[in-house]
């Protein structure tokens, strides 16, 4: 899986950010960390790389499960992009190649939303999904961090609450997805302790031998099996589109008047 991801990221970078491809790009001493760093850099160029583990599903379920998963990802993006960046909110999704497990590329025009999903949301989902029982309060705490990173603190209270509650609801559905999230990126900064220290949140019980969050993300990537099928030819990569979930557009959010005027 590591070799396949390296190839996918290389092709993406060549298309969208060729300056990221250095002569010694391949053959890193730590290829998993190299992949995580490149995927995070590509988010700044509007490319969000998603990996889903569907090994436990019946063949007849897999296509629908992936579509449902990506629709919810699209709803989360659309909620924030339409609410905060309505003039640059376009989004599309497509399979990176024909192999398994599925790798999906989200191309979102609202760069701040793409980067927040890469640096906070996707790693959170990958770490938390196996624990199953996540409180609504914790999800609202994550949305507080997301909205703070997106500098949404000056929104009217009603608009802020709408984004916070709507985002938390979508995150809950993503945690309940049949597709297991495997994050290609790590946390931009540690956030789980911040969320869990909010009054009213009960920390999950410690698991014996539990890996630290960043190491777990790395381990999850490394344990995914390589697909034995032939590589998808380069000219056929990034071609098969997936439907994106839509949220009802929010009314324009009024900004407070400039105090200097």
DSSP state of 118: I
The per-residue DSSP string of 156-168 comes to -HHHHHHHHHHHH
Establish whether the linkage from the previous residue to 101 is cis, with ω within 30° of 0. Answer: yes
Angle, in degrees to the nearest 10, between helices 2-16 and 213-223: 100
**How is the chain split into domains, by residue range?**
2-226
Q: Express each pLDDT in 160-206 by its tens digit.
A: 999 999 999 999 999 999 999 999 999 999 888 777 654 444 455 44
CA 15 to CA 9: how far, in whole Å? 10
Q: H helices of 17-135, where?
A: 31-43, 59-84, 111-116, 122-128
> Using 50, 70 and 90 to split pLDDT, how confident is the model at 26?
low
Angle, in degrees to the nearest 10, between helices 213-223 and 31-43: 100
CA 261 to CA 194: how far, in whole Å? 37
Q: Express each pLDDT in 64-91 by its tens digit.
A: 999 999 999 999 999 999 999 999 999 9
Residue 102: name the closest of 233, 232, 244 by CA.
232
Q: Express each pLDDT in 202-256 by its tens digit.
A: 455 444 445 567 787 887 888 887 777 888 998 889 889 998 866 555 554 444 4
Q: Express each pLDDT in 122-155 by its tens digit.
A: 999 999 998 877 889 999 999 999 999 999 988 9
Residue 47: name the closest of 109, 99, 95, 120 by CA.
109
150 membership: H or E segment, kind and range: none
């Amino acid at each position: 899986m590591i070799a396949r991801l390296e190839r996918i990221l290389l092709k993406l970078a060549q298309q969208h950010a060729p300056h990221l491809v250095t002569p010694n790009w391949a053959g890193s001493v730590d290829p998993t960390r190299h992949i995580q760093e490149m995927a995070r850099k590509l988010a700044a160029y509007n490319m969000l790389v998603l990996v889903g583990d569907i090994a436990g599903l019946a063949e007849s379920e897999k296509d629908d499960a992936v579509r449902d998963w990506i629709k919810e990802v699209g709803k989360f993006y659309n909620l924030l992009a339409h609410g905060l960046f309505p003039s640059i909110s376009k989004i599309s999704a497509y399979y990176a190649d024909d192999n398994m497990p599925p790798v999906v590329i989200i191309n979102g025009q609202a760069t701040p939303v793409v980067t927040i999903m890469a640096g906070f949301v996707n790693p959170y989902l990958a770490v938390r999904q196996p624990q199953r029982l996540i409180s609504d309060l914790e999800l609202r705490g994550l949305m507080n961090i997301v909205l703070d990173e997106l500098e949404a603190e000056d929104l009217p209270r009603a608009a802020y609450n709408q984004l916070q509650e709507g985002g938390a609801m979508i995150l809950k559905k993503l945690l309940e997805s049949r597709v297991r999230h495997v994050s290609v990126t790590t946390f931009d900064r540690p956030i789980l302790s911040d969320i869990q220290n909010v009054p009213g949140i009960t920390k999950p019980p410690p698991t014996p031998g539990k890996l630290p969050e960043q190491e777990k993300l790395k381990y999850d990537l490394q344990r995914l099996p390589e697909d034995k099928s032939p590589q998808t030819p380069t000219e056929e990569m990034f071609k098969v589109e997936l439907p994106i979930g839509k949220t009802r557009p929010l009314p324009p959010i009024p900004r407070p008047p400039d105090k200097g005027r």
